[in-house]
Structure 1
Amino acid sequence: MDLKTKIGTGVIAATIGLVAAWEGRSLVAYADPVGIPTICEGYTHGVKLGDVATPAQCDALTEQEVRKALAVVDGSTPGQLPDGVRVALASFVYNVGPGAYGGSTLLRRLRAGDLKAACNELPRWVYAGGKKLRGLERRRQAERKICISGLDL
């Protein structure tokens, strides 16, 4: 395995760990705080209440969705971002979706090259269904901390 592959694998593993820590795992579908049927670590696509998954299915779904989120982040800027920024923003995209990320001030700041300002946008994203959620406040603070960790401030 070459160095680039090892680094990529490390970013994916770190992002999966971050996502899993904040999403939690449910093998039975439930309604999230805004009523969206959700299973495994926050997976929502085509999920119906009462659906059941195995731990192996959850592992595969989470890795698949983390890879998609990381591809969105990596494809959103012309240059290579620091790993901490990639991990934090992939976790963010996993949670809010590529559409919300794509139209965000966070992405505009990122594309302008102001990584610190982009990281500092994360704590603004703490609402779901119009309600401020404490869990999102804590998650965004953790993502921000990881995001700025590798920057020269």
Structure 2
Amino acid sequence: MKKRFMLGAASAVAAAAAVIAPWEGLRTKAYPDIVGVWTVCYGETNGVQPGDTHTPAECDAMLAQQVKAYADRLSECIDDNQEAQMPEGMKAAVISWAYNVGTVAACRSTLVRKLNSGDMVGACNELPRWNRAGGRAIPGLSNRRAAEQKLCLEGL
């Protein structure tokens, strides 16, 4: 069984949450996102219905819980040896990206394939490719991916 202590470690989760929160923004009342998916808090979509509301404290707790869950799922598709070599900033950037695109897409990606082959720079340089929603490039996603790429590359 794969150990899930690296990406899901408290420090990596806290760092990723700090990256995610400003990009997602806090909205305590459910709203349809750019492609029409009901969303609340910091980009939470799971089970969200129109009219749902949460307090900021509930949103913070939900973000921490979800980031940990995403990190654990992402950890399952990253080679233990490569994961052990990832600097903290890279972990935060990759978790932020996976939180936004989903772990199924992340685990099937060229980014993860490059990471697992030891090409960390190449993995970081895949981030800007993930700037689309609803089939079109979104300036906010391009900006987010550029920031994630910068964070990803800084510790290498």
TM over 0.5: yes
The one of 88, 93, 106 aligned to 1:88: 93
Residue of structure 2 aligned with 1:132, choices 130, 137, 154: 137
Offset of residue 72 of structure 1: 2.8
Q: Among residues 123, 132, 141, which one is paired with 2:146 in the alignment?
A: 141
Matched, 1:112 2:90: no
Q: CA deviation at 1:73?
A: 3.3
**1:28 aligns to what SS in structure 2?**
strand
Q: Stretches of 4+ moved more than 4 A in 1?
A: none
1:34–1:129 CA contact under 8 A, matched in 2: yes
Structure 1 residue 83: deviation in Å?
A: 1.1
- State the secondary structure of the residue aligned to 1:27: strand
In structure 2, C-alpha distance between the alignment counterparts of 1:46 and 1:9, rounded to whole Å: 25
Letter in 1 for 2:44: Y
Amino acid at match of 2:80: P
3-state SS of paired residue (2:93): helix
Deviations 1:77-123 (A, max 9, x none): 22212211110000001100001101111111011110000000000
2:66 and 2:93 map into 1 onto residues whose CA distance is 14
Matches within 5 A, 1:4-153: 8-75=9-76, 76-79=78-81, 80=84, 81-151=86-156
Compute the RMSD of aligned alpha carbons. Answer: 1.5
More off after superposition, 55-64 vs 29-38: 55-64
Q: How many residues align?
A: 146
Find the aligned partners of 1:119 and 1:133 in 2 and give their Cα distance.
Answer: 19
Identity percentage over the alignment? 44
What is the CA-CA distance between 1:58 and the residue it aligns to? 0.4
d(CA) in 1 for partners of 2:53, 2:126: 35
Deviation of 1:74 (Å): 2.9
Q: Name stretches of at least 5 consecutive residues in structure 1 with no aligned partner.
A: none
Larger RCO of the pair (alpha carbons < 8 Å, separation 6+): 2
Offset of residue 9 of structure 1: 3.1
Q: Which AA in structure 1 matches 2:92?
A: V
- Give yes or no for contact 2:74–2:107 (8 Å, CA) kept in 1: no
Relative to the length of structure 1, the TM-score reads 0.90
SS of 2:30's partner is: strand
